[in-house]
Structure 1
Amino acid sequence: MSGKVAGKKKAGTELTALNKKKLKSVDEILGKVKWLAERVKGEPEVQKTLAELNLPHACREVVDKDAGAVLDEIETAILFVAASVLRGEGFTYTLPSRSKANQLYVPELDRIVLKDSQSHRAFANTSTCRKAVITTRILQLVHELCTKRIHVTKRDLFYTDVKLFEDQSNSDAILDDLACMLGCTRSSLHVVASEKGVVVGRLTFREDGDPIDCRRMGVGGKAIPPNIDKVDAITSDAMFILLVEKDAAFMRLAEDRFYNTYPCIIITAKGQPDVATRLFLRKLKQVLRIPVLALVDSDPYGLKILSVYMKGSMNMSYDSSNLTTPDIKWLGVRPSDLDRFSIPQQCRLPMTDEDIKTGKKLLEEDFVKANPEWVKELEIMVTTKVKAEIQALSSFGFQYLSQQYLPLKLQEGDWI
């Protein structure tokens, strides 16, 4: 047994030595990244809109609205309900349907949008009665927030009426319904998610007037502000943004000061992306006009997380124009990397039946089919039935990620 362990260590040492020989100077490593950055800066700033595409389906999108405009929308909605009651037609809300059947992937925009089908939420119907009550209660609370010009978290909102809401998922879902119904972004409702995402690296900005330097935030990084509207004066000399799925990889890169050698901004939402992180990433991309490279686990859920950043989520497809960053490049860890970088077998995990089912579903998605390289990687994953986490790279040493794997990927321009 000890001989096997020694053999694995020797193989790892040899691979590390080989990769070190392959690495060129920092300027040469960044050559292809610089080319990509120049291409991104040369792209036209004005993108196509839904209105210009003349799609066969009517689609719904929302916009940012100030507190006064949201108040007007709420009062108009309540007047419609009151008029319906007076006509003898009952207490009913008419809302856009957010079901999967009402979603549409638009290749020209490279994101998911919401079609214009509607559903009815009647108080007199036993199946929708409770939702109608929760909808009314949250409309009342949002009206109060907009009147007072204050913000609260989704958790705060839930605790205003725990017995009615029962579970935060209920109040969260209605919030999305209302944003869609009122034609505004969810942040326009003055309800924000708790801080989750963090950023570190070559970035400075002002948050509500306070200067922030993300190079001076330590290993933990700077929490991404829940209210992105208060972020301005964004400046950076970074060549790219590195989007990282997990907190552990983020901490490794932050502690190794990866951004000092390879000028970048590093962002993570610590798993499934929250709204604030998605808004912040999009804002950085629009202001700085630099490429975004993604580092996620080599499993179906890593790709699903990446797809939320790029194409949008089903739950918030109505706001995909504000939340998505379509042209993110998948840097790693990719299924083809497992053999290419000789990831040890003990670090490769067998995919569960649910993993395989999720991978096959992804292969059926239109946005995956639009990218042959993604299809190729997913087919490797589903065929081999093997997955691996970013941390599998640590089998060659704790700093292998920052000192060899990522520099090699950048040097080769190995992104898709």
Structure 2
Amino acid sequence: MNVYRSQLMVAIEDVMLDIVRSVAEGKSPVFTLRNQRDWKNVKFGDRLKLKPEGQASTVEIKFSSRRSRPKFALIIHLLGVVHRLLFTQSTCTRRQLYYQNVALVRSQGLLDAAVRDICSLLNAPAWELGVIATSKGLVAGPVSLIMETGDVIDCMAPGGVLIPQDINNVVRLESDAQFVLLVEKDATFQKLLDEGVLERLGPCILVTGKGFPDVATRLLVQLLWKFLSVPVLALVDADPHGIEIMCIYRFGSLNMSHQSDDLAVPMVRWLGVHPTDISWLGIKAQPLTAVDISKLRNLATRPYVT
């Protein structure tokens, strides 16, 4: 067992001991966490970062509160699961965690939020705790992923390859690609492959998160950037949701701001489609919906928009 894994186990044990002490002293136990849902709690340099303890506002998850007691119980349950995963050096997907105790978890969204809280509590990414997300993203192009086990994933398969859930276990990349192209939608990704973009513009690597990218997709993009030192370009729709997706790749997201060093790639450049391209390309414009306008107003308040 490596030292880091042992340290995480000790950290979990310390949390549990604090709870036991509180109960023994007649106090109601409470988790005090930095609020990862407040934009005022992030600072912005080249990416979003959650402010350190002492500078960020906090939220309390109290056992004494009827409203927060279910979440408190869920965190306690998951801490036990994570401790076992670390001890046995195994992994579990978030989906598996949900189905292991549906009565307690109640919904996948609540479980995902509790996992984020545990990551903040232990100051560690979920994949280091043995908790991995089911991947939905695809990668295609002249790149081989060499895994910790020695397995090699060749990404030249027709239609692309599903990004592995354990992408954090990649130890080496082999590629002669000159750039990485991030594509918002799977349909566009497949269309580009059908049109022979890998041969016509290559050598290059295409990645799609099929909409908003999951953790595995974002981890892969950063690995490609770090290992290959090539330009990373984003091709998204010229609408508020497309712009937000590009910003997530580049700057990170609010609820994962405590892990932006591992997930954000500040060198991502917006290739298009730009709103100014619509008339130039002769594309029929569509009016913004009420949801689009609300999203635009929200984007305008974020620290990376000037």
Superposition TM-score, scaled by structure 1 size: 0.69
Q: Does 1:294 align with 2:234?
A: yes
Higher relative contact order (CA closer than 8 Å, sequence separation 6+): 1
The equivalent of 2:181 in structure 1 is 242
The equivalent of 1:218 in structure 2 is 158
Q: Does 1:163 align with 2:103?
A: yes
SS at match of 2:305: helix
The equivalent of 1:231 in structure 2 is 170
CA positional deviation for 1:87:
2.1
Structure 1 runs of 4+ off > 6 angstroms? none
Q: How does 1:193-212 map to 2 (within 5 A)?
A: 193-207=133-147, 208-212=149-153
Q: 2: CA distance between counterparts of 1:90 and 1:83?
A: 10
The equivalent of 1:340 in structure 2 is 280
8 Å contact 2:127–2:168 — kept in the other structure?
no
Q: 2: CA distance between counterparts of 1:65 and 1:228?
A: 21
The equivalent of 1:396 in structure 2 is none
The equivalent of 1:75 in structure 2 is 13
C-alpha change, 1:104 and 1:65, in structure 2 (3 Å) is farther
Q: 1: CA distance between counterparts of 2:191 and 2:290?
A: 31
Q: Could you tell which deviates more after superposition, 297-306 or 221-230?
A: 221-230
CA positional deviation for 1:65:
8.2
SS at match of 2:230: coil
The equivalent of 2:120 in structure 1 is 180
The equivalent of 2:30 in structure 1 is 92
The equivalent of 2:296 in structure 1 is 359
Instruction: Point out where structure 2 has 5 or more consecutive residues left out of the alignment.
Output: none
CA positional deviation for 1:101:
4.7
> Which amino acid in the other structure matches residue 288 of structure 2?
M
Q: 2: CA distance between counterparts of 1:65 and 1:284?
A: 27
Q: How does 1:319-330 map to 2 (within 5 A)?
A: 319-330=259-270
CA positional deviation for 1:80:
1.2
SS at match of 1:335: coil
8 Å contact 1:242–1:293 — kept in the other structure?
yes
Q: Does 1:252 align with 2:207?
A: no
Q: 2: CA distance between counterparts of 1:93 and 1:357?
A: 33
Q: 1: CA distance between counterparts of 2:297 and 2:36?
A: 24
Instruction: Point out where structure 1 has 5 or more consecutive residues left out of the alignment.
Output: 1-63, 370-416
> Which amino acid in the other structure matches residue 214 of structure 1?
C
Which has the larger Rg? 1
Give the structure with the higher percent helix: 1
Q: How does 1:9-408 map to 2 (within 5 A)?
A: 66-107=4-45, 109-116=46-53, 117-207=57-147, 208-215=149-156, 217-219=157-159, 221-262=160-201, 263-343=203-283, 345=284, 348-369=285-306
SS at match of 2:164: coil
Q: What is the Cα-based RMSD across aligned positions, in Å?
A: 1.7
Percent identity for Structure 1 against Structure 2? 35
8 Å contact 1:112–1:311 — kept in the other structure?
no
> Which amino acid in the other structure matches residue 8 of structure 2?
V
Provide, for residues 295-320 of structure 1, a one-character-per-residue CA deviation record: whole Å limited to 9, x for no partner. Answer: 00110000111111111111111111
Q: 1: CA distance between counterparts of 2:294 and 2:260?
A: 26
